[in-house]
């Protein structure tokens, strides 16, 4: 059996895969088993932010692999400690908990908010988390419950108590929910990714921060997809000039290795004590060595390049034939289009460009360092397909 046949026979069928098998790649070019090269506008869903097999990242990972691969969290290890330090230095946060995925990073944020509230009140009276409709926070039961889309709240029940959902960009809705529910925290993606790549309004995000201070709630920002340079700033909340109490991130942080991080600010840094939370693989030395390399290279020069590549995409596709609107920020871009998004993606694959969808939109998440000529070729192909 070939790979496709093996996969169809033995892998749980949770993914509707495109008919492409990737066998190798370099930067923003991926090689298919069909012998074709594909320009990558998806980065493995915002993961490979320096593209495929980036040399510097690979060296950092291989060096750690030569030292040791895992020690458990019973012992100290340098990649984990140094990545936590760099995350705190670059954000002003105080402590980091490491996990292995976005969902786990969000689980940790939810637990942290509830424990901070418990320590303050001595009971579970203020445990509700307010999230937004159309949000996406993960696939575990708690993060599915946090995900504010009814379609996710079916067939796997019972779901959890203590989550309520506000309308995006409606501060009054959050205010009312906070008052009626003794809420512990508000959790948002400032750019809703899976929900269609929609950036929240500036006043709304600033309003949430203010409301959280007034009502003694924690402000949690899920940067699993939008983080690590993708928005044109290190974390997307930085575009809004706010300071969350808890930030979660994952996807791009490891440059292709599984990692999740929950950053705890001043109001949440004492959420956990010994034994109150943990993860066997969390802080894995290989993932953290990869993350340390990635994070240390997200500098102003890279972010400026992200902004100019972003401007190029917005300018080229805004008003183009078949495009209704362009949304998002940096290299996290959504296209509302006239055609069916899945059909457009399939046709682009035929023509050698890989991209994603989010709801009924096209979603573009190219590597942050995609060369301008490749980006241009890929956007031209997309433009042609959209115009047909």
Q: What residue ranges bind ligand PLP (CB under 6 A)?
A: 101-103, 106, 136-138, 189, 193-194, 222, 224-225, 250-251
Nearer to ligand PLP, 250 or 286 (CB): 250
- What is the distance between the alpha carbons of residues 84 and 296, in angstroms, rounded to a whole number? 12
Task: In angstroms, give the least distance from the CB of 263 to ligand PLP.
Answer: 14
Task: In angstroms, give the least distance from the CB of 163 to ligand PLP.
Answer: 15
Nearer to ligand PLP, 251 or 361 (CB): 251
Structure tokens at 320: 């183009």
Nearer to ligand PLP, 105 or 375 (CB): 105
User: Which residue of the chain is nearest ligand PLP when measured via CB?
Assistant: 102
The DSSP code sequence of 314-373 is: HHHHTT-TTEEEEEEETTEEEEEESS-HHHHHHHHHHTTEE-EEETTEEEE---TT--HH
Nearer to ligand PLP, 14 or 72 (CB): 14
Task: In angstroms, give the least distance from the CB of 142 to ligand PLP.
Answer: 12
Angle between helices 372-387 and 341-350 (to 10 degrees): 130
Task: In angstroms, give the least distance from the CB of 119 to ligand PLP.
Answer: 26
Name the residue among 264, 279, 296 with its Cα closest to residue 92: 264
Task: In angstroms, give the least distance from the CB of 283 to ligand PLP.
Answer: 16
The DSSP code sequence of 100-138 is: SSHHHHHHHHHHHHHHHHHHHHSSSTT-EEEEEBT----
Nearer to ligand PLP, 232 or 254 (CB): 254
29 in helix, strand or coil? strand
């Amino acid at each position: 059996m070939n790979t496709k046949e093996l996969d169809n026979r033995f892998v749980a069928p949770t993914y509707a895969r495109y008919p492409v098998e990737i066998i190798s790649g370099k930067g923003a070019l991926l090689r298919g088993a069909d012998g074709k090269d594909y320009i990558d506008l998806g980065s493995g869903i915002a993961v490979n932010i320096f593209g495929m097999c980036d040399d510097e990242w690979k060296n950092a990972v291989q060096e750690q692999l030569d030292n040791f691969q895992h020690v458990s969290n019973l012992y100290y290890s340098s990649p984990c400690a140094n990545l936590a330090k760099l995350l705190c230095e670059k954000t002003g946060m105080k402590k980091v908990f490491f996990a292995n995925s976005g969902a786990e990073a969000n689980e940790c944020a939810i637990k942290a908010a509830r424990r901070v509230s418990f320590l303050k009140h001595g009971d579970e009276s203020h445990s509700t988390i307010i999230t937004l409709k159309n949000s996406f926070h993960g696939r575990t039961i708690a993060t599915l419950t946090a995900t504010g889309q009814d379609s996710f709240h079916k067939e796997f029940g019972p779901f959890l108590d203590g989550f309520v959902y506000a309308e995006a960009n409606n501060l009054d809705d959050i205010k009312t929910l906070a008052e009626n529910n003794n809420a512990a925290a508000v959790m948002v993606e400032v750019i809703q990714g899976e929900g269609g790549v929609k950036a929240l309004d500036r006043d709304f995000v600033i309003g949430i921060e203010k409301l959280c201070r007034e009502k003694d709630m924690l402000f949690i920002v899920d940067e699993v997809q939008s983080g690590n340079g993708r928005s044109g700033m290190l974390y997307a909340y930085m575009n809004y000039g706010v300071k969350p109490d808890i930030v979660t991130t994952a996807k791009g942080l490891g440059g292709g290795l599984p990692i999740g991080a929950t950053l705890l600010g001043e109001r949440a840094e004492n959420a956990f004590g010994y034994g109150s939370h943990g993860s066997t693989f969390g802080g894995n030395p290989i993932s953290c060595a990869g993350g340390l390399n990635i994070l240390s290279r997200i500098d102003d020069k890279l972010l400026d390049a992200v902004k100019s590549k972003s401007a190029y995409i917005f300018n080229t596709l805004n008003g183009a034939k078949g495009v209704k609107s362009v949304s998002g920020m940096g290299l996290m871009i959504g296209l509302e289009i006239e055609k069916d998004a899945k059909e457009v993606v399939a046709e682009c694959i035929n023509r050698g460009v890989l991209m994603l969808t989010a709801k009924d939109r096209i979603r573009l998440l190219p590597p942050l360092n995609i060369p301008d000529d490749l980006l241009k070729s890929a956007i031209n192909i997309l433009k042609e397909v959209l115009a047909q």
